[in-house]
Amino acid sequence: MRAPTLRIFSRFALRFFSLFTPCVFSVFALCGLLLPLQEAAAQDAAPAAETAPETAPRQNQAQAPNIVIIFADDMGYGDIGPYGHPTISTPHLDRMAQEGTRFTQFYVGASVCTPSRAALLTGRLPVRSGMSHDRRRVLFPNSGGGLPHSEITIAEELKEQGYATAAIGKWHLGHLPEYLPSQHGFDYYFGIPYSNDMDNVSGRSNREIAFEAKPEYWNVPILRNDEVVERPADQHTITKRYAEEAVGFIREHRDEPFFVYLAHSMPHIPLFVSDDFDGRSRAGRYGDVIEEIDWSVGRVLDTIRELDLEERTFVFFTSDNGPWLIYDTHGGTAGLLREGKGSTWEGGMRVPAIAWYPGTVTPNNATAALGTTMDLFSTALSLAGVPLPDDRVIDGVNLMPLLSGERESVRDEVFYHRGTRLYAVRKGPWKAHFITQSAYGGEDPVTHDVPELYHLDHDPSERFDVAAENPEVVAEIRNLADAHARTIEPVANQLELVLEE
């Protein structure tokens, strides 16, 4: 083949691939996952090919960046490679941490699912939205409440700016039609609307069946948008399907800004993995589950890279609360932190957190600066160029000045609520516990006249109470707690509403 002919051929081949590859990928992503393969093949791809632009990336450089939040369920502080787990292999999260910034002191808004999710999506402590309760700590299938419509979610704000918005995975902010993701700013939803251990129809307790789990023991539904499409959910493939749904949505909306909230149902018990991950890790079933979540992170990041969107996409990985320690090896580990899910000790509320946005977020960086999931609300709005709502208290702060290296810290305080009550306050390295209680086991809360005080930089495991030696710190944090309490207004509680049987 002579040179000019070769050039023409190459140009033709390039053009051919640039026209058809995205189309073929999109068709497979959108249809192939949802329909049998034959049906996907029967789709008429021609119109899409004609309208597909020739070069990638196709997003306008002036356009606001894409935002992806990946939220694990009950993953502990010590459960992944970047946080030191010795036998769970997480190469994709390792790479994400190398290419981004990893927090060593990042917190959730509550140490159980429902209030934690409300905090992330609204940027507000759940006690402000009525999404926390002292006894019914999360929503259940017989709950009548949900995230109130007076609350503003990240999705609502971004949708208004022209973002395509998807919630994929666990919702747990109300399963009744009026509370589903479609009513809170999401264009698309696919997932189990509450915890994967609910709707237990086995006749035995979760504790009894968790270690020999079969999907049919839990009659949990999968919804696509507002419709039930599967029940009971085949939980073996749930992590894989969530990842593919996220990838499909990203491919479908590659030309416009998108917001994807990918909230995995795992590693909340009962633990399930696909065949590909069954027995793969050195850390038993729990390790298998974490490694499949790690794979899902790789799927999402690889897709973003492949679409040439990595410098236009902010991705944040974190967990909704600490590990569920009462489930032995099926619960994770908070590493050196005390206690786990359900408590206001560090292990309940400090979680792994990695920010990735090549070219903007500082790479290969670990920061001991404080951050919270509520900050993702303020960060997302800032990235999209939207001002914060000014008619309510927002508990989040914008993380971008910290993540881009402009500032060394963006917050100095963390408030730890359990249910509707303030249990502890962190100010700088100091944490005062006004009330303590173990995560599970039914012990009553203990109120301390003189709070227990820990210096978390010196003592991250909260072992040595130094209140007696530091009365001025105790006094300062007490004033802070009192001032904080004055910002909380009474609100209708959503978690105490129970449907008639």
Active site residue 172: yes
Residue showing the smallest CB distance to Mg ion in the complex: 113
User: DSSP for 318-343?
Assistant: EESS---GGGGGGS---TTSS--TTS
Least CB distance to Mg ion at residue 358 (A)? 29
H or E segment to which residue 377 belongs:
helix 374-383
Pick 117 or 254: Cβ nearer Mg ion: 117
* 424 and 402 Cβ atoms separated by less than 8 Å: no
Residue 256, number of CB atoms within 10 A of its CB:
14
Cross-strand partners of 413: 427
| Residue 187 or 320 with smaller CB distance to Mg ion | 320
Cβ atoms 107, 373 nearer than 8 A? yes
Which residue is catalytic, options 172, 253, 264, 268? 172
Is 85 among the catalytic positions?
no
Question: What is the residue type of 319?
Answer: S
Tell me the closest approach of the beta carbon of residue 229 to Mg ion, in angstroms: 24
Closest distance of CB 351 from Mg ion, Å: 10
Task: Give the residue among 99, 160, 12, 123 at the shortest CA–CA distance from 395.
Answer: 123
Residue number, 112 or 158, with CB nearest to Mg ion: 112
| Smallest distance from Mg ion to CB 329, Å | 18
CB nearer to Mg ion: pick between 65 and 76: 76
d(CA 25, CA 363) in angstroms, rounded, equals: 30
Gyration radius (Cα) of the chain, Å: 23
Pairing of strands 365-372, 353-356: unpaired
Question: Which CB sits closer to Mg ion, 268 or 338?
Answer: 268
Positions that interact with Mg ion (CB under 5 A): 73-74, 113, 320-321
User: Rounded to the nearest 5°, which phi and psi values hold at 313?
Assistant: -135, 120
**Contact 229/222 with Cβ under 8 angstroms?**
yes
Burial class (CB in 10 A: 0-12, 13-18, 19+), 177: exposed
Residue 26 or 196 with smaller CB distance to Mg ion: 196
**Cα(273)–Cα(269) distance, integer angstroms:** 12
Q: How far is CA 57 from the centre of its chain?
A: 27
CB of 73 to Mg ion, least distance (A): 4
- Taking the alpha carbons at both ends of the chain, their separation in whole angstroms is 78
Q: What is the enclosing helix (H) or strand (E) of 447?
A: strand 446-455
**At a CB cut-off of 8 Å and minimum separation 6, what does 81 contact?**
88, 89, 90, 91, 93, 94
Smallest separation, CB 341 to Mg ion (Å): 6
Comparison of 74 and 395: residue with beta carbon closer to Mg ion = 74
Closest CA to 220 of 228, 210, 212: 228
Work out how close the CB of 197 gets to Mg ion at its nearest, in angstroms, rounded to a whole number.
Answer: 11
Q: Which is nearer to Mg ion, 74 or 291 (CB)?
A: 74
Active-site option among 31, 113, 133, 417: 113
Closest CA to 191 of 203, 183, 180, 176: 180
Per DSSP, 28 falls in state: I
Six token digits for residue 209: 């069946």
- Least separation in angstroms between residue 113's CB and Mg ion is 4
Min dist CB 109 to Mg ion, Å, is 12
Our CB check for Mg ion shows the closer of 239 and 398 to be 239
Q: Is 238 in a helix, a strand, or coil? A: helix
Whether 96 contacts 297, CB under 8 Å: yes
Which residues are annotated as catalytic? Answer: 113, 172
